[in-house]
Structure 1
Amino acid sequence: MDASRTRALGGAIAAAALVCCAVLAAGCSRSAAPAPQDTGTATTARAAVPMAANDLQSDYLKVIKEVLPSVVQIQARHDLGSGVVYDGKGHIVTNAHVVQSEKTFRVTTANSEEPLTAHLVYSYPEQDLAVIKLDKVPAGLKAATFGDSEKVQVGQIVLAMGSPLGLSSSVTQGIVSATGRTVSEVGGGTGATLANLVQTSAPINPGNSGGALVNLDGQVIGIPTLAAADPNLGGSAAPGIGFAIPASMVKTIAGQIVKEGKVVDSGRAALGVTARTVVDDRYQPAGVAVVSVRSGGPAAKAGLRPGDIITRLGNEPISTVTSLSETLAADRPGQKTTVRYQRAGAEKSATVTLGEQ
């Protein structure tokens, strides 16, 4: 199912203690016989250290108490993942690769002893998101609060909540280590190319998919979806590099599914072709061959035909189907761009107005 996701709560307290030691060392190193005011400063620093650690721990405990009841465990027929309560009507948002082709599920909330039943509302594999709905809404079901993706900053402390390896209601901690990542899912996901992902150092383990990446204000800023794979470890998850779908995209897609029963505006750019990667005489990827062109689509209107080999879209070189998908993921429907391609050995270019996936 997953490519990798979260487990176990954090130890920034030790980091705070290290900072504290540095402060104390600096204060103590001024002189062997400090003046009275120096003693007071050192005492104040010593008092501030455990207070800072306790404040951070209190923040963690407050956020966990507030958000964890909104994170559920989802059991499909053969797979297990996590989900986040979207509203008080029993809608739960999760990853499309968690639900796969299943239609019914068993859901365990943080406050329920017995699993609840739920059914699929709609799955949107192109963005690896899906919404399921509880058949019976239990009393006290609490919806999560989703944050503003534009306010997510590198260095923010975050907590990842979910059911890694089947261990329900687990929490790990880390930071936002990057934003705006574009990643293609392989080996167990939907195969989608996802743009503007939040990168985090919080551990993401199998079972965390569809859970919550939460800031210290108690807001869900992303849905943990996959971990980076390290080819040097045989494709195993790379420690400390996980990715989450940003809250803005989650709200956009889940909101449409709840209201319309499907996605009516994906916001994802499309060229209107099916394609495959081609290689050169050294067997290196050399472009994307157009296999078919959708009638009336963007590529057709730009004059592209089956057999053309796309080598550049806008400013981005195109060598594989994945690179084409990643470039399109960063663009918007309606955007005008230049496509460069080869036809019968001749270099050509055309202006294309991107459509919607």
Structure 2
Amino acid sequence: MRRLLLPLTAGLCAVALAGGCASSSAPPPERSTQAAAPLARANELQDDYRTVIRNVLPSVVQIDASQSLGSGVVYDSKGHIVTNAHVVGQEKTFKVTSATGGQPVTARLVSTYPEQDLAVIRLDNAPQGLRAARFGDSSKVDMGQIVLAMGSPLGLSGSVTQGIVSATGRTVSEGRQGGGTGATIGNMVQTSAAINPGNSGGALVNLDGEVIGIPTLAASDPELGGGSAPGIGFAIPASMVRTIADQIIRTGKVTDSGRAALNITGRTVVDDAYEPAGVAVVSAPPDGAAGKAGLKAGDIITRLGDDPITTITSLAESLASRKPGERVVVRFTRATRAQETTVTLGEM
């Protein structure tokens, strides 16, 4: 919310008048101009909000599955809608309602990609005039940009909240509670715009009317019993949304995730004090990235590049910030002996 700070001279004049100020002459023209400037800027910003909402909200929908309720964004005129994988869950059919109202229509799952918490569904009968959203350039998203989050929080269809981009490049691990996929997602956009249950899968929009991300997570505060931490939400960047959605629409599955992997199966191990101490390799296929570099079952990974590895989650978070083909030094323990090797990362 933007506050208007009226010039101090206006307040002083009001006090003087209340005390019987004799002069009733108008203030000098330049003072009137100065006083009006903040109001004019506020009105311009308000008009920007209204324009963005008017242009984008028709491309936002509410998705009603039998076990969940969330939001989605119209991706193209053929009726494809992008949303979160945790919104669709295990469901195959859905009822979809435009954020601007109207009768619900049926939709079916095209495919889901839980590793990035994204999914695509398609309307059975796309109405004429269906308006697809415009997706922006993730590389131009920067801290301080004003953004609007659009969706159906708590089932309140067509709701809009306002905030800024608080940070970019966040790596966030999603829990499995409440239907979460457990995914670790890199390069997320952090925002102060309120992200509440039901906002998942909706649109995070800049003032140019472009979708810059798909709201997915709200931070939780352990001191609040796991409740949401106000003003800390995360959205999957538009570039990743397009990468995944385009593949699903074209081939029905994701064949090129763009996400780095060691190509192992692993588990967290603890030390003598029962503290997490690394990731034990359960299996490392010889044709995978780790296997080619000489890692094998029983090795305990303790560092990836400069990142200490103590849990399977910390390993996933380190990999989420890297790209397939990147060469990285992996430190590990084999039969109590510390060793290291250089791995050319594979793809998830």
TM-score (ref. length: structure 2): 0.93
Contact persistence 1:28–1:42 (CA under 8 A)? no
String of CA shifts for 1:100-126, please: whole Å, max 9, x gaps. Answer: 111111100134522100001110000
CA positional deviation for 1:26: 8.1
Contact persistence 2:57–2:100 (CA under 8 A)? no
Name which of 124, 128, 134 aligns with 2:123: 134
Name which of 234, 242, 245 aligns with 1:254: 245
String of CA shifts for 1:266-304, please: whole Å, max 9, x gaps. Answer: 000010111111111122111111111123101111111
Task: Return the letter of the residue paired with 1:242.
Answer: G
CA positional deviation for 1:49: 1.9
1:25 aligns with 2:8: yes
Give the match's secondary structure for 2:150: strand
Question: Corresponding residue for 2:214?
Answer: 223
**Alpha-carbon distance between aligned partners in 1 of 2:101 and 2:108, rounded to the nearest angstrom:** 18
Asked which structure has the greater RCO (Cα within 8 Å, sep 6+), the reply is 1
Task: Return the letter of the residue paired with 1:107.
Answer: V
Question: Corresponding residue for 2:170?
Answer: 181
1:124 aligns with 2:107: no
Structure 1 pair 28/42, CA: closer, same or farther in 2 (3 Å)? farther
Question: Corresponding residue for 2:284?
Answer: 293
**Alpha-carbon distance between aligned partners in 2 of 1:112 and 1:119, rounded to the nearest angstrom:** 20
**Root-mean-square deviation (CA), in Å?**
1.7
Alignment map for 1:197-346 (pairs within 5 Å): 197-346=188-337
**Alpha-carbon distance between aligned partners in 1 of 2:9 and 2:127, rounded to the nearest angstrom:** 56
Identical amino acids, percent of aligned pairs: 67
**Alpha-carbon distance between aligned partners in 2 of 1:279 and 1:198, rounded to the nearest angstrom:** 33
Task: Return the letter of the residue paired with 1:192.
Answer: A
Alignment map for 1:81-100 (pairs within 5 Å): 81-100=70-89
Contact persistence 1:159–1:174 (CA under 8 A)? yes
Structure 2, unmatched stretches of 5+, are: 17-26
Name which of 172, 176, 194 aligns with 2:185: 194
Which range moved further: 253-262 or 74-83?
253-262
CA positional deviation for 1:41: 3.4
Structure 1 residue ranges, 4+ long, deviating more than 6 angstroms after superposition: 26-29
Q: What is the aligned length?
A: 334
**Alpha-carbon distance between aligned partners in 2 of 1:334 and 1:93, rounded to the nearest angstrom:** 28
Task: Return the letter of the residue paired with 2:347.
Answer: E
**Alpha-carbon distance between aligned partners in 2 of 1:228 and 1:244, rounded to the nearest angstrom:** 11
**Alpha-carbon distance between aligned partners in 1 of 2:125 and 2:10, rounded to the nearest angstrom:** 61
Question: Corresponding residue for 1:352?
Answer: 343
Contact persistence 1:193–1:325 (CA under 8 A)? yes
CA positional deviation for 1:182: 0.2
TM-score (ref. length: structure 1): 0.91
**Alpha-carbon distance between aligned partners in 2 of 1:262 and 1:272, rounded to the nearest angstrom:** 19
String of CA shifts for 1:156-177, please: whole Å, max 9, x gaps. Answer: 1110000000000100101100
**Alpha-carbon distance between aligned partners in 2 of 1:180 and 1:219, rounded to the nearest angstrom:** 19
Structure 1 pair 288/26, CA: closer, same or farther in 2 (3 Å)? farther
CA positional deviation for 1:28: 8.8
Contact persistence 1:27–1:42 (CA under 8 A)? no
Question: Corresponding residue for 1:146?
Answer: 135
Task: Return the letter of the residue paired with 1:115.
Answer: P
Give the match's secondary structure for 1:179: strand
